[in-house]
Amino acid sequence: MKRRVVITGMGTINPLGHNLEETWENVKKGVCGIDRITQIDTTDFTVKLAGEVKDFDPVNYIDKKEARKMDRYTQFAFIAAKEAFADSQIDMSQEDPYRCGTIISSGIGGLKTIEAEHERGQKRGFEKISPFFIPMSIANMAAGQIAIETGFKGVCTCVVTACASGNNAIGEAFHYIRDGYTEVMMCGGAEGCISEMGVGGFTAMKALNTTEDKDRASIPFDAERGGFVMGEGAGVLVLEELEHAKKRGAKIYGEIIGYGASCDAYHITAPDPEGAGGAACMTIALKDADIQPEQVGYINAHGTSTHLNDEGETKAIKKAFGDHAYKLMVSSTKSMTGHLLGGAGAVEAIITTMALKDGFIPATINYKVPDPACDLDIVPNEGRNVQVEIAASNSLGFGGHNACVVFKKWEA
247-261, pLDDT tens digit by residue? 999 999 999 999 999
**Which member of 156, 158, 163, 193 is catalytic?**
163
- Give catalytic status of residue 244 as yes or no: no
**Which member of 339, 374, 401, 404 is catalytic?**
339
Provide the sign of the torsion angle of the four alpha carbons 217, 222, 223, 227, taken in this order: positive
| Tens of pLDDT, residues 315-360 | 999 999 999 999 999 999 999 999 999 999 999 999 999 999 999 9
Q: Is 287 helix (H, G, I), strand (E, B) or coil?
A: helix
pTM: 0.98
Average pLDDT estimate for 16-35: 98
CA distance readout (Å), 386 to 90, 298, 299, 375: 32, 10, 13, 21
pLDDT at 412 over 80: no
pLDDT of residue 1: 76
Q: Domains in the chain, start-ordered, CATH in brackets? A: 5-247 (3.40.47.10), 259-409 (3.40.47.10)
- Give catalytic status of residue 281 as yes or no: no
- Give catalytic status of residue 18 as yes or no: no
pLDDT of residue 259: 98
Task: Give CA–CA dist 213/48, Å, rounded.
Answer: 9
pLDDT of residue 260: 98
**Which member of 302, 374, 401, 404 is catalytic?**
302
| Tens of pLDDT, residues 387-405 | 999 999 999 999 999 999 9
pLDDT of residue 272: 93
Angle value at C-alpha 342, between 23 and 280, nearest 5 degrees: 105
- DSSP letters, 308-372, are HHHHHHHHHHHHHHGGGGGGSEEE-THHHH-B-GGGHHHHHHHHHHHHHHHTEEPPBTT--SB-T
